[in-house]
Amino acid sequence: MNIETLREYVLQKPNVTEGFPFGPDVIVFKVNDKVFLLVPLDTEQLQFNAKCDPDHAIELREQYDAVQPGYHMNKKHWNTVVVDGTIKNNQLLELVDESYDLVSKKKASK
């Protein structure tokens, strides 16, 4: 997977916007004005920060070296995922979907 594939996938979701509130090196994707995905552009390998259910986050970190506690994020709820080929593309997209669903549902329930 590359950055354009990821970006195209994310932008087709309802109510998603992208921006650069932290400067030109990080794309921030929001749903209903809430962040659900951050993609740094200054790394050698593609990676992203995605929100995750806390129990699932722990499982993923135990299962994959490419999944680490979220860099500069709440480590309980966010993972940093390095796209290094050890996680299949469809699984990566499922992590994006989970993050999107968690954030979009949180807004809807208020």
Q: Label residue 53 left, alpha or beta by phi (over 0 means left) and psi (-120 to 50 means alpha).
A: beta
Q: What are phi and psi of 27, to 5 degrees?
A: -85, 130
pLDDT(110) > 50: no
Confidence of residue 70 (pLDDT cuts 50, 70, 90): confident
CATH number of 3-105: 3.90.1150.30
What residue segments make up the domains of the chain, in order of their start?
A: 3-105
Residue 109: predicted pLDDT: 46
Residue 95: predicted pLDDT: 97
How far apart, in whole angstroms, are the C-alpha atoms of residue 41 and residue 100? 20
- pLDDT 10s digits, 31-60: 999 999 999 999 999 999 999 999 999 999
Residue 39: predicted pLDDT: 97
How far apart, in whole angstroms, are the C-alpha atoms of residue 91 and residue 35? 20
How far apart, in whole angstroms, are the C-alpha atoms of residue 74 and residue 87? 23
Q: Label residue 23 left, alpha or beta by phi (over 0 means left) and psi (-120 to 50 means alpha).
A: left
